[in-house]
């Protein structure tokens, strides 16, 4: 199964991310977000921890991807690999992630992602796998 694919969009970047589990689909959405900016293989030099919570999976995905962009903007962190754990307690959803990457200035970029959007965002299970659709503001 492929990790993600880019779809045509008139002004921004639209992609589908896939996974056998919801965690894997979230991971692949993060990888697609960074593949939007560079197709180079990123070294695993640094490790960061991310924790976000939300009331539904769309808000959780949005917060998670925005947190990754925040790391890029504030710490020049460029994603290489990621491990995610999702959990739920009462009415809240939680995402814990260990992200590995390198300093962005070490790599050439061709696009800059300004923000994640809720526009046309979808998270759904299709038969045996999960599909996430996201549009990024570039």
pLDDT on residue 11: 86
Q: Assess contact for 126 and 133: CB atoms under 8 A.
A: no
pLDDT on residue 39: 87
Asked if residue 110 is part of any domain, the answer here is yes
d(CA 69, CA 96): 16
Find the mean pLDDT for residues 14-42.
97
d(CA 89, CA 83): 20
d(CA 22, CA 94): 13
Asked if residue 21 is part of any domain, the answer here is yes
* pTM, to two decimals: 0.96
Asked if residue 73 is part of any domain, the answer here is yes
Asked if residue 103 is part of any domain, the answer here is yes
Asked if residue 7 is part of any domain, the answer here is no
d(CA 28, CA 3): 6
Residue span of the structural domain in which 53 resides: 14-137
pLDDT on residue 59: 98
Q: Assess contact for 84 and 67: CB atoms under 8 A.
A: no
Q: What CATH number has the domain bearing residue 32? A: 3.55.10.10
Strands 13-19 and 46-54: unpaired
Asked if residue 60 is part of any domain, the answer here is yes
How many domains are contained in the chain? 1
pLDDT on residue 42: 97
Looking at the chain, the whole-number percentage of residues with pLDDT higher than 70 is: 100
pLDDT digit string (tens) for 29-82? 999 999 999 989 999 999 999 999 999 999 999 999 999 999 999 999 999 999
Average pLDDT value for the chain: 96
Asked if residue 117 is part of any domain, the answer here is yes
């Amino acid at each position: 199964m492929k990790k993600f694919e880019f779809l045509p969009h008139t002004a921004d970047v639209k992609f589908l991310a896939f996974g056998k589990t919801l965690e894997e689909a979230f991971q692949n959405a993060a990888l697609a977000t960074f593949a939007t900016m560079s197709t180079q293989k990123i070294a695993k030099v640094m490790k960061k921890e991310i924790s976000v919570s939300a009331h539904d999976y769309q808000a959780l995905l949005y917060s998670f991807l925005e947190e990754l962009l925040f790391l890029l903007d504030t710490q020049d962190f460029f994603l290489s690999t990621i491990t995610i754990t999702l959990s739920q307690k009462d009415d809240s959803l939680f995402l814990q992630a260990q992200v590995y990457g390198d300093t962005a200035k070490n790599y050439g970029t061709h696009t800059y992602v300004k923000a994640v959007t809720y526009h046309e965002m979808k998270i759904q299970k299709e038969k045996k796998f999960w599909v996430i659709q996201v549009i990024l503001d570039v």
